[in-house]
Structure 1
Amino acid sequence: MTDSRLTAQTRDSALARLAASVKPGQELDILVIGGGVTGAGIALDAVSRGLSAAVVEAQDWASGTSSRSSKLMHGGLRYLQMLDFKLVLEALKERDLLLTEIAPHLVRPIPFLYPLRHRVFERLFVGAGIMLYDLLASARTGKRALPFHRHLSRKALNETFPDFAKDAAVGAIEYWDANVDDARFVLTVLRTAVERGAHAAARTQVVELTKNAAGAVDGAVLMDLETGSTFTVKAKTVISSTGVWTEESQSLAGNDGGLRVLASKGIHIVVPRDRIEGSAGLILQTSKSVLFVIPWSRYWVIGTTDTPWTEDLMNPVATATDIDYVIAEANKVLARPISHADVVGTWAGLRPLLQPGTKTGTQSAKVSREHTVASSVPGLVSIAGGKFTTYRVMAKDAVDFSLGAAAKGRPSVTEHIPLIGADGFKAAERELRSIIDGLGWSSSMTDHLFHRYGANVRDIAEIAQNDPSLAMPLEHAPAYLRAEIVYAITHEGALHLDDLMMRRTRMVYEYLDEAMDALPEVAELAKSVLGWSDEQAARETELYRKRAAADADAADQPDDASAARVRAAAVEIVPMVALGASS
């Protein structure tokens, strides 16, 4: 095992190892393109089989779809309506593994209410579906990770969710799934991979795929977006796990074959928890999508939509029309309607939807209705589709496909690997009780920390003990400790303010105006730990302000095209060389 920490220095070391792969005998077994949940999962799966592997990401870790999900680990109840029992069984198995073995500190149970409009037929029909959902969840071991569903009368529904409109349902069925902080989960998978020997470099873009004399992909040309330098890396197999960028990644091999993917936009809004009175989530069937009302800590997450996105893949945004739709659908069942004034934040993400078939000249294995692994050029493997919950299965399938017949001798073992922070996390709170009391952390803060870091709260506590000023909450974002900002840099690879505000924490949509009031304090901490000059700190702050302003303007636009034009006005963090900055 090696150190799991991600820092600017470990990034430099990873880049040096990648550059050294051109030397005889230094070739990597697998180079993974894409640092979302599947890419991180592939890196972990590969190194845990004894393969040498590296993963690169052009932006920050989880900066695409994997930080903009509904933040649920679930079996996909709606797939039962499509009679896709295999997919639901697979997802439920993964959900329960995550809850009990792989990441019990990050994945937590959550009850949902399925409101019923009709007393008899609907209760029987929906009840049978949810009964099957629960039975499938028990199929793996015969044991249950979550409570069994129960039927609620109208009175019991209103007791559980007092702000549910009295005439909106005759009762409900309560069932259980789980939630997760998606960006934190990706970082934890990635750090577990690094701990086992993977090399990881964010802000590193693949600009070309190289080929050998036989025409097989044998590596890539990478650009370090922090410095603008380029170099070549060699690998036996390159695996593209780039989501909505799948076709762009495949095109770097100079071949028209491969997977076909379309982007579908889903948006969520955030409303303060005290604005809606209820102790369970809601799942609502609408004419256009499934809408979740999800309780989370101090607020509610409400979404999602499902609309085609044909604009810039880098920056999907929520429009006024999107937000109006989500509010209107939620208000159909709320006794106290919400409005735009209640919305403290939004986010938009893109789902990579696989299109039927694959392009000409492609070998593929359609291992699930939801995801496919394919190779249009020898040496290049692409995986696309799927869902967050089944990332581990997707990773296994991608590595199996890459190894071919050799996979039988190197089977996946990730089913039995807890993510960092999982081992001993239940005992850690007892062990750290005197330290926690000495630092003055409240029970809610302690719960927040253990849900985010598990047993690695020990590292947060050590940072706070070494500098008591870091044990204090941020003045304008008191849900987070100053020590968490330092930890994000010293252990989780944050390089920029966007990384800290949008993915290491959720401040960007938890506080009004994208947590602009907290920005100076966060920037000052980042400046100190990362060694920024005054000029670079000012540049980072200005970039964040411009991006936040562009997001706000985009949310006032009526359609995707106009919102994308407004959003394009913001200058991106990368490439830094385009801003005249040095690393």
Structure 2
Amino acid sequence: MSHREDHEGNEDYEGRNRTSRTSKADRANRATRVHGAVGADWGAAGPAALPEPTALTTAQRSAALESMSSPEGLDVLVVGGGVTGAGIALDAASRGLRTGIVEMGDWAAGTSSWSSKLIHGGLRYLYQLDFPLVHEALTERGRLLTTTAPHLVKAQPFLWPLKHHYERSYSAVGVGMYDALAVAGARGRRTVPIQKHLGRAGTRALAPALDSSHLAGAIRFYDARVDDARLVIDLVRTAVGLGAMAASRTKVTGYLKDAHGTVTGARVTDLETGTAHEIRAAETINATGVWTEQTQDMATTEGGLKVLASKGIHIVVPRQAIDAQTGIFLRTEKSVLFIIPWPRYWVIGTTDTPWTQDVSKPVATSADIDYVLEHANEVLTRPIRREDIIGTYAGLRPLLQPHLKPGAEAASTKVSREHTVTRVAPGLTAIAGGKLTTYRVMAVDAVDHALGEARAHAHPSATADLPLVGAARYHEEAARAGEVARSRGWTLARVTHLLDRYGDELPALLAAIDEAGPEAAWDRPLALAPDFLRAEVAWAVTHEGAAHLDDVLLRRVRLDIEQRDRGLAAAQEVLEVMAPLLGWGEEEVAAERASYAARVEQIAAAENEGTDAAAVAHIEQAI
């Protein structure tokens, strides 16, 4: 079923709709309240004096649950807090709809924090002649780079090594088409540099680590990278700033239905307190990724989407392990492999293998790690060794299950990543497929579908040019980076790191440091993770919804992927900052550290196993 189809069942929406009659001017005013008044003074006093309507906190979460459970109900309830669900919540809120979003774990705890962290058009899809999909993705890439999230999304060059001279011509055509589609999607503007052809000498100059002895040269092209978890958190925060109600660690246990069988909301349980709630909504949208079938089957088992879980793993090595100024793009017998530079490390992956185990427990096996090492080392002059690896991670892609003949099997690498939206039951819409880059398009389609054509036309999406939290004045703040560095006695690299995480909220972060005072020492680097300030841990709690140690180490201050002990040694200082903000005593602090230590031990044991089944046997709880 096409994601543009199936508007049936929406005829009665007008009668059940509780949509606010919100004009474009009203939505613009809301956006102004989120991002600050145009031309506002962001100097020393800065945004600390402004209201902070986007902050995610434990108090905000409790208030959101109570508000969502009120008799007034919602226009739209979104189930799932990954990038798709977060994008849907923002899209619905941008239309002036009374919107709620619930997530059974932390924000981005599933697939959306374990991706390749790339914003890309899908260069390989050109070779499948899927031009519309590539054009759509490149258009979204341009938006993210220039308008909606320039603080988080960064242009990233890659080298495509060429083994034979004849490869240059057809590869150049493919990359040239990629560039052309990107420019077309940006209405004639260039958001990244176009391709450049290199010989052996030019290839060696950019990437001495690349074995060029058997190469004809390389093509340099551009895509972009992003901290995937931070993107999701900023989406949720932006939605909250536009009036959405958001509650993490809130699990849907069933759906509410009226006498005609129409879904009218959901029963949920607050996993922090055990309290049950009923949330009524005119429309409910299921955006739960690899959990799609589980969540939709609570409403009906007679139809809906079929999703194939495919595991992708990545390894992380220190920046000094690979001598190169650019990323590297490799085609493998199954898919592609990226060697992606970040300021302190390289991310290398991914695999693409069917997953038949518990979808809450994906983990890298020894065989997975060997596969990535083998393919990376085929092109590197200095092989990466096991002992070079400082981190690994695994995630599951929700791929749409194709219709198969009896007895046939699907290779996960051949399943389309294009998304599909369908009506599972009256009042309940489900969406699956897609990819990180096109989350906004998926969100528009999901909300349009849930509302029906007439209502969607009356209340159009307003996200195409809506800056996320931190984006609106990012470039203005970046221009002041040297001034901030001098005034604080920091390196420019330190300020750049903060800008690329918090964007135009940097003045508010600095104000929070000053207000906390010298005793809190929020301006001090973490002793065992000096690239991060103690203030970043505090901000994770006061603005980004972190309520547990793993929320910080896995998805806010991401030591889990860049330290061999997954940040365990730094955990005590992280807890020292978190505890007073969350009201924890010694018992809670000890329990948080013990839980995280158990996770570290279990994943280490799993990585020594050769099969998924053996690896999962070590994992006691969702990771």
TM-score range, shorter chain: over 0.9
The answer on whether the counterparts of 2:361 and 2:622 sit within 8 Å (CA) in structure 1 is no
Whether the 8 Å contact between 1:318 and 1:346 is mirrored in structure 2 is: yes
2:607 paired with 1:559: no
Retained in 2: the 8 A contact 1:435–1:461?
no
CA-atom RMSD, angstroms?
1.4
Aligned partners of 2:58 and 2:545 also within 8 Å:
yes
Query: Partners in 2 of 1:254 and 1:159 — Cα distance?
Result: 59
* CA distance in 1: counterparts of 2:377 and 2:480, whole angstroms: 46
Q: Which amino acid aligns with 2:67?
A: R
Residues 473 and 240 (structure 1 numbering): CA distance in 2 closer, same or farther, change over 3 Å? same
Equivalent residue for 2:436, pick from 376, 379, 388: 388
- 2:306 pairs with one of 260, 263, 272: 260
For 2:425 and 2:622, locate their aligned partners in 1 and report how far apart those are by CA, in whole Å: 32
CA offset digits 1:39-96 (Å, max 9, x no partner): 0110110011111100000000000000000000000000001000000000000000
- Match of 2:567, SS state, is helix
Shift of 1:434: 4.7
Change (3 A) 1:281 1:435: closer
Q: Counterpart in 2 of 1:10?
A: 60
Q: CA offsets, 1:555-581, max 9 Å, x none?
A: 11111000000123xx559xxxxxxxx
Aligned-partner Cα distance in 1 for 2:385–2:89: 43
Where does residue 544 of structure 1 map in the other structure?
596
* 2:176 paired residue number: 131
Q: Choose which of 39, 42, 52 in structure 1 pairs with 2:88.
A: 42
1:493 aligns with 2:545: yes
Q: How far is 1:350 from its partner?
A: 0.2
Aligned positions of 1:13-92 closer than 5 A: 13-20=63-70, 23=71, 26-92=72-138
What is the TM-score of this pair, normalised by structure 1? 0.94
Indicate the residue corresponding to 2:13 in structure 1. Answer: none
- Partner of residue 450, structure 1: 499
Q: Distance in 2 between matches of 1:417 and 1:554?
A: 42
Match of 1:155 in 2: 201
Pairing 1:214–2:263 present: no
- Could you tell me how far apart the structure 1 residues matched to 2:483 and 2:184 are? 42
Aligned pairs for 1:465-504 (under 5 A) are 465-466=514-515, 467-468=517-518, 469-504=521-556
1:424 matched residue in structure 2? 473
The aligned residue for residue 234 of structure 2 is 188
* Residues 432 and 179 (structure 1), Cα distance of their counterparts in 2 relative to 1, 3 Å cut: closer
Give 1:326 deviation, angstroms.
0.3
Larger mean Cα displacement after TM superposition, 435-444 or 479-488: 435-444
Quick one: which amino acid aligns to residue 371 of structure 1?
H
Q: CA deviation at 1:215?
A: 0.4
TM superposition shift of 1:512: 1.4
Q: How does 1:309-458 map to 2 (within 5 A)?
A: 309-356=355-402, 370-405=418-453, 406-431=455-480, 434-458=483-507
Alignment pair present for 1:293 and 2:339: yes
Deviations 1:25-49 (A, max 9, x none): x120000000001101101100111
Listed as ranges, the matches of 1:80-119 within 5 Å are 80-119=126-165
Q: Which amino acid aligns with 2:206?
A: T
Which of residues 298, 316, 319 is equivalent to 1:270?
A: 316
Query: Are the counterparts in 2 of residues 153 and 170 from structure 1 also a CA contact under 8 Å?
Result: yes
Whole-Å Cα distance in 2 between the matches of residues 433 and 300 of structure 1?
27
| Residue-pair matches, total | 557
| Superposed displacement of residue 440, structure 1 | 2.3
SS at the partner of 2:617?
A: helix
Contact conserved, 2:203 with 2:212, CA < 8 A, in 1? no
Residues 467-522 of structure 1 show CA distances to partners (whole Å, capped at 9, x for unaligned) of 24110110001111000000000000000000000001210011111111101101
Deviation at 1:396, TM superposition (A): 0.1
Corresponding residue of 2:211 = 165
**Residues of 2 paired with 1:259 and 1:503: CA distance?**
29
Deviation at 1:288, TM superposition (A): 2.1
Residue equivalent to 2:15 = none
| Counterpart secondary structure, 1:566 | coil
Q: CA deviation at 1:263?
A: 0.3
Consecutive unaligned residues of structure 2, counting only runs of 5 or more, are 1-29, 34-52, 405-415
User: 1:153, CA displacement in angstroms?
Assistant: 0.2
The residue type equivalent to 2:189 in the other structure is K
1:423 is aligned with what amino acid?
A: A
Distance in 2 between residues matched to 1:234 and 1:317, nearest whole Å: 36
2:522/2:533 contact within 8 Å kept: yes
Deviations 1:433-479 (A, max 9, x none): 55543332211111111001100111221122222411011000111
Amino acid aligned to 2:302? D
Asked if the contact 1:543/1:572 (under 8 Å) is kept, the reply is no
Q: 1:250 aligns with which of 284, 288, 296?
A: 296
1:333-370: per-residue Cα shift (whole Å, max 9, x none)?
Answer: 00000111000001000000101259xxxxxxxxx961
Matched, 1:174 2:188: no
Between the aligned partners of 1:196 and 1:344, the Cα distance in structure 2 is 40
Query: Which amino acid is the alignment partner of residue 457 of structure 1?
Result: L
Which residue type is aligned with residue 525 of structure 2?
A: P
Which residue of 128, 143, 146 corresponds with 2:192? 146
Asked whether 1:284 is paired with 2:334, we answer: no
Q: Give, in angstroms, the shift of residue 432 of structure 1.
A: 6.8
Counterpart residue identity of residue 471, structure 1: D
1:168 CA displacement = 4.1
Structure 1 range deviating more: 136-145 or 540-549: 136-145
For residues 268-301 of structure 1, what are the alpha-carbon distances to aligned partners after superposition, in whole Å with 9 as ceiling and x for unaligned? 0000001110001011011122100001111100
Q: C-alpha distance in 2, partners of 1:510/1:347? A: 10
One-letter code of the match for 1:524?
A: E
- 1:520/1:168 Cα in 2 relative to 1: closer, same or farther (>3 Å)? farther
| Contact 1:255 1:377 (C-alpha < 8 Å) held by counterparts | no
Conservation of the 8 A alpha-carbon contact between 1:271 and 1:300 = yes
Partner secondary structure for residue 513 of structure 1: coil
* Partner residue, 1:464: 513
Answer yes or no: is the 8 Å Cα contact 1:293–1:303 preserved in 2. yes
Instruction: Give, in angstroms, the shift of residue 10 of structure 1.
Output: 0.2
SS at match of 2:205: helix
For residues 363 and 95 of structure 2, the distance between their equivalents in structure 1, rounded to whole angstroms, comes to 39
> Which amino acid is 1:28 matched to?
L
